[in-house]
Amino acid sequence: MRMKREREPATPLRPAPGARPTRGPQPAFSRDSIAAAAVKIADAEGIEAVSIRRVAVEIGSGATSLYRYISKKNELLDLMADAVLPKYTLPKSSGNWRKDLKKIAFQNRKMILEHPWMISISAFRSSLGLNTLHWLEVTLHVLDDHGLNIDEMIVVSNTLLAFAKGYAAGEIAEREASRLSGLSREQWMSSRAHHTRAILETGEFPMFSRIVKDAAAPHDPQSAEHGFSLGLDHILDGVEVRISHAAIRRVRKPAPDPR
């Protein structure tokens, strides 16, 4: 006879970073200070430089002592991701979902540009830290009551974050290319002028020719900002279509039989 297994109790939500136990001796460090040290290292040297041992050195502790607070590196990464969020301002609900989502997306991009290591943090394996939950609540609240179901709302939220991450990753790569080459984007394009003319003379790449002759973006000093805003508009146009279809479905939904 197979014995029925008891269900394991749900893992309780972790306290907010930096929370102290109510009993026993005061700990020498807080989760806040540990997260801050790890973020400092990652910002300066990249996520690969972050380890529990390295963080321990940064805050003047032994690695063994930190295991009282952080059990493994993945937990440290979750704590770091949650710790940076309060720095960024989420919009108060304006009643204009499009305007609010755009502000959230710009904050996502700003966060990635200032903390490039955040690109490697999965949005699909959320730590469910309190700051992360607050960010999710605000984003989904903006989309609520517009006819989308919760799955559609999650997809929109993830799409905005994925776009912000991808776009910021391109900006970071450009920034690194400028650093390594010692050339700004304009200087790099000037250095490639001879090669560009040779391509145009072949007549084999008409779309590239249109970019060179007609596109303003490559010469726009604010091209990254303007490009991100325009890309967002295209995404939000799609969301607006979904919301409009949801409104049509609500209107067409048959009234319940009063009998």
Distance CA 24, CA 10 (A): 25
Give me the pLDDT at residue 69, please. Answer: 83
Distance CA 73, CA 71 (A): 7
Domain range summary for the chain, segments of one domain joined by +: 31-86, 88-182+220-252
Distance CA 38, CA 50 (A): 6
31-45 vs 73-84: helix crossing angle, rounded to 10: 90
Q: If pLDDT is split at 50, 70 and 90, which confidence band does 157 have?
A: very high
Give me the pLDDT at residue 124, please. Answer: 64
Domain 31-86 listed as CATH 3.50.50.60:
no
**Best CA proximity match to 236, nearest among 146, 130, 118, 135:** 146
Give me the pLDDT at residue 250, please. Answer: 66
Alpha carbon 213 to its chain centroid, in Å, reads 35
Q: Mean pLDDT of all residues in the chain?
A: 84
Q: What angle do CA 119, 189, 167 make, to 5 degrees?
A: 20
Distance CA 212, CA 71 (A): 54
Topology of domain 88-182+220-252, CATH:
Tetracycline Repressor; domain 2 (1.10.357)
**Best CA proximity match to 123, nearest among 72, 87, 160, 151:** 160
Give me the pLDDT at residue 137, please. Answer: 94
Residue 51: how many CB atoms within 10 A of its CB?
14
The answer, yes or no, to whether residue 140 has pLDDT greater than 90, is: yes
The answer, yes or no, to whether residue 143 has pLDDT greater than 50, is: yes
Are 171 and 119 a contacting pair, CB within 8 Å? no
pLDDT digits (tens, 9 = 90+) for 11-52: 333 444 444 444 444 556 788 899 999 999 999 999 999 998
Give me the pLDDT at residue 5, please. Answer: 39
Q: Counting runs of H as helices and runs of E as strands, what totals does the chain give?
A: 11, 0
Only one residue has tokens 């790099």, namely 188
Are 41 and 50 a contacting pair, CB within 8 Å? yes
The answer, yes or no, to whether residue 115 has pLDDT greater than 80, is: yes
Give me the pLDDT at residue 246, please. Answer: 81
pLDDT digits (tens, 9 = 90+) for 185-211: 888 888 888 999 999 999 999 999 999
Q: What is the CA radius of gyration of the chain?
A: 24
Distance CA 183, CA 191 (A): 9
Give me the pLDDT at residue 252, please. Answer: 62
Residue type, 193: A
